A and B are shown apart, each in its own frame.
Chain A
Amino acid sequence: MYPRSFDYVAPNTLAEAFNALGDNCKVMAGGMSLIPLMKMRLFTPGVVVDIGNLPDMDQITDEGDHIKVGALVRHGTTASDGLIAANAQALATAAALTGDVQVRNRGTTCGALAHADIAADQPAGALAADAVMVVESAGGSREVAASDFFVDSLTSACGPQEILTHIKIPKAGEDEGSAYDKLGRRGGHSDYAVAGAAAWVKKSNGSIEAARVALTGVGTKPQLAESVAEALVGTDGSDAAIEAAAQHAVDGVVVLEDLYGSEEYKTHLAKVYVGRAIKQAIANV
């Protein structure tokens, strides 16, 4: 199974990369989604711009008020990095549950976000973490909130001539915690999410002061479940409060039936996993 013929460039600087990004181009990072799609001829770019040689993009750095995760940070690194674990456990877990060892050795966190699969893990983690996507092009740089980044199935706010150069994750305080959990397509945690949820909570004086809950695998895109967060805020975070909030998991979500589950089953799973993610997030504070 070969992709259709294409020209290949592997620029050594960001400026060269922007130069190479013309019409009918595709950025390639880890290739874990792009190469299979090209082999199936669903994508047939004329030029592949491999950003794998760009310098310093494989770094996770502490930038004071936020953590910077570069475009070439692999899933495996996101999963095991101490800074990510301390500030965005939901994203770390989502990365650890992405694919298998070989996929985690090549695929990048930014690639998984830019790819915006409806059932991908890390978009939910990025939503819960309130990450900011930094998208650059020849024309300059812009910042997109995670909540505006996932537009539709396989469509993110990153345009074809743009590169998601890094994401910024706000530093978490002592009273904050987050978590991610999913049912994988191959059972347990394996493979894309049939349904998955990420949650972030901030506690004060024994009650939930703020929350963000994100869903993946269930709707037309990874998205925030705002009614869940609203129902949770102000409660004591008890099992009963979590259970009540989780009932709102698919409020305003168009639940998609697919090969892995009916609308009814996915709705059920969404509530279960939203509940589990919140409970673990509270435990992680």
Chain B
Amino acid sequence: MEVSMTVNGREVSADVEPRTLLVHFLREELRLTGTHVGCETGYCGACTVHVDGQAIKSCTMLAVQANGSEVKTIEGLASNGDLHPVQEGFWERHGLQCGFCTPGMIMSATALLDENSNPSEDEIRHGIEGNLCRCTGYHNIVRAVEYAGAKMRGEDPPPPDWEGAE
């Protein structure tokens, strides 16, 4: 079946089997391997991308369902080599360890901040409920999102937790 969509601003089309999952289309057909495959059951969120501006799990969507849609992946966030504020936040606040969950986490966090530019800690934790991280304990991920939110609002990010620590 023929599918066409816009991925990170680029028009793409290909002939796929209906059972091709969006994540495999992105990774194998388009070679955009930034989007990860974790659980494949819809639970871990490592495969999160945006379809028409909303965070979705690309392992639980068929490529044919995204026909005609605008898709954004982690590769589409930085512009001209400048990190997106959420990417910068993960860097500055040490929001990752192994990095496996990170692309999905960042896509969920950007969708959250697009809807709510000043989320509370509770709202951040709720907003990334569909993304599992086996390394960080989430604490620094929350700090990374707070950093990004402040940056996107044009404010100074709160100082890192470790500043002034013994």
Give me the interface of A with B, judged by CB distance under 8 Å: 1-8, 10, 31-32, 35-36, 38-39, 48, 50, 52, 99-103, 105-106, 190
Stretch at the interface among B54-62, B72-80, B91-99, B157-165: B54-62
Closest-CB distance, B61 to chain A (whole angstroms): 6
Residue of chain B at shortest CB distance from A9? B18
Residues of A within 8 A of B108 (CB): 101-102
**Interface pair A36/B42, CB less than 8 Å apart:** yes
- CA–CA, A212 and B112, complex, Å: 36
Binary interface profile of B, 21-50, with partner A (CB < 8 Å = 1, else 0)? 100100000000000000011100100100
Closest-CB distance, B56 to chain A (whole angstroms): 5
Residues of B within 8 A of A38 (CB): 19
Say if the beta carbon of B65 comes within 8 Å of chain A: yes
Binary interface profile of B, 61-104, with partner A (CB < 8 Å = 1, else 0)? 11011010000000000000000000000000000000000000
Residues of A within 8 A of B129 (CB): 100-101, 190
Give me the interface of B with A, judged by CB distance under 8 Å: 1, 17-21, 24, 40-42, 45, 48, 54-57, 59-62, 64-65, 67, 108, 111-112, 127, 129-131
Closest-CB distance, B65 to chain A (whole angstroms): 6
Listed by A's residue number, 11 A-B pairs whose Cβ atoms lie within 8 Å are A1-B40, A2-B24, A8-B64, A10-B64, A35-B61, A36-B60, A101-B111, A102-B57, A102-B130, A105-B54, A105-B56
Our pick among A6, A102, A106 for the contact of B18 (Cβ within 8 Å) is A6
- CA–CA, A4 and B19, complex, Å: 7
Residue with the highest number of chain A CB atoms closer than 10 Å, among B108, B112, B129: B129
A1-B40, A8-B1 given; A50·B65 CB < 8 A: yes
- CA–CA, A103 and B41, complex, Å: 12
**Interface pair B45/A102, CB less than 8 Å apart:** yes
Residues of A within 8 A of B60 (CB): 31-32, 35-36, 106
A8-B64, A10-B64, A36-B60 given; A100·B18 CB < 8 A: no
Residue with the highest number of chain B CB atoms closer than 10 Å, among A3, A32, A100, A102: A102
- CA–CA, A7 and B19, complex, Å: 9
- CA–CA, A5 and B20, complex, Å: 9
**Interface pair A5/B55, CB less than 8 Å apart:** no
- CA–CA, A101 and B57, complex, Å: 10
Closest-CB distance, A193 to chain B (whole angstroms): 16
**Interface pair A39/B40, CB less than 8 Å apart:** yes
- CA–CA, A155 and B127, complex, Å: 32
Residues of A within 8 A of B57 (CB): 102-103, 106
**Interface pair B130/A100, CB less than 8 Å apart:** yes
**Interface pair B19/A2, CB less than 8 Å apart:** yes
A101-B129, A106-B61 given; A32·B55 CB < 8 A: no
Residue with the highest number of chain A CB atoms closer than 10 Å, among B42, B54, B62: B42
What 16 additional pairs, Cβ within 8 angstroms, besides A31-B60, A50-B65, A99-B130?
A1-B59, A2-B24, A5-B17, A5-B19, A6-B18, A6-B19, A8-B1, A8-B64, A10-B67, A32-B60, A35-B60, A35-B61, A38-B19, A39-B41, A100-B130, A102-B55
Our pick among B17, B18, B19, B130 for the contact of A101 (Cβ within 8 Å) is B130
Residues of A within 8 A of B54 (CB): 105
Residues of B within 8 A of A99 (CB): 130
Closest-CB distance, B113 to chain A (whole angstroms): 12
Our pick among B40, B62, B127, B130 for the contact of A31 (Cβ within 8 Å) is B62
Residues of B within 8 A of A103 (CB): 42, 57, 130
Closest-CB distance, A251 to chain B (whole angstroms): 34
Residues of B within 8 A of A6 (CB): 18-19
**Interface pair A8/B56, CB less than 8 Å apart:** no
Residues of A within 8 A of B59 (CB): 1
Residues of A within 8 A of B130 (CB): 99-103
- CA–CA, A39 and B129, complex, Å: 23
Our pick among A3, A32, A105, A190 for the contact of B42 (Cβ within 8 Å) is A32
Residues of A within 8 A of B56 (CB): 102, 105-106
